[in-house]
Amino acid sequence: MSQEFVIEAFPRDDQGRGASRRLRREERKIPAIIYGGKKEATAISIWHNELKKALENEAFFSHVLTVELNGKKESVILKDLQRHPYKPILTHADFLRVDKDHEIHVNVPLHFVNEEAAPAIKLHGGVANHQINEVEVICLPQNLPEFIEIDMMDVEMDQVVHLSDLKLPKGVKIAALLQGEDHDLPVVAIHKPRGAKTDEAEEGEEGEEGEEGENEKE
């Protein structure tokens, strides 16, 4: 994990809906909470616009973050984020403390590379059908990947890539696969678009047309 995200936090004593509204309206901050580990939950507030800007980076969701509160730092991950139902406003954030010796569960994005260059797509007219775009992984905080890459170059027509086919970094497990083979979900596949003819069918039709033409001449 090459990037580092530091969140400036402030103690929050007043709680409740009224206090949260005042916090957002007057101070341009949002309420948040840090919980987990062997410590009690800590109510904090953080700058709304700084968090909103950080969320534009996909990596923010799959990184161990640093929260600075009263000169002290804590390692956390973002566990929940609440937004206004129709305005582009964040309303609350939940952060979970992490310990370097304990595994964490985090949703990590999938990156599909070489999709346009894959022969099944570029040469044979196939289309990639993405079933999922992120996956829950289990690992120690120091092993948390920013994303998991799927190389589409060698995926053939009508081939389905499953969770068990993903190449994982060392120390990383996929949560679903620990529940058994029935949870080995499809991730992506390449198929011909609906209504498109396969190469073999096209060749067969061309052959039939050639034979009909010869018969007519006879």
All domains of the chain, ordered by start, with CATH? 6-97 (2.40.240.10), 104-191 (2.170.120.20)
Q: Is the pTM of this model over 0.85?
A: no
Asked if pLDDT for residue 5 goes beyond 70, the answer is: yes
1 confidence band (pLDDT: 50, 70, 90)? very low
Gap between the Cα atoms of 81 and 107, Å rounded:
14
Question: pLDDT tens for residues 147-161?
Answer: 999 999 999 999 999
Q: Which of 90, 82, 96 is nearest to 33 (CA)?
A: 96
Asked if pLDDT for residue 217 goes beyond 60, the answer is: no
Q: Which of 4, 155, 23, 9 is nearest to 73 (CA)?
A: 9
Question: pLDDT tens for residues 71-102?
Answer: 999 999 999 999 989 989 999 999 999 999 99
**CB contact set of 2 (below 8 Å; sequence gap of 6+):** 146
Residue 138 contacts residue 175 (beta carbons within 8 Å): yes
Conformational region of residue 125, where left means phi above 0, alpha means psi within -120 to 50, and beta covers everything else: left
Q: Is the dihedral of CA 65, 133, 114, 168 positive or negative?
A: positive
Query: Quick one: pLDDT at residue 21?
Result: 72
Gap between the Cα atoms of 25 and 27, Å rounded:
6
Q: Which of 132, 131, 5, 130 is nearest to 62 (CA)?
A: 5
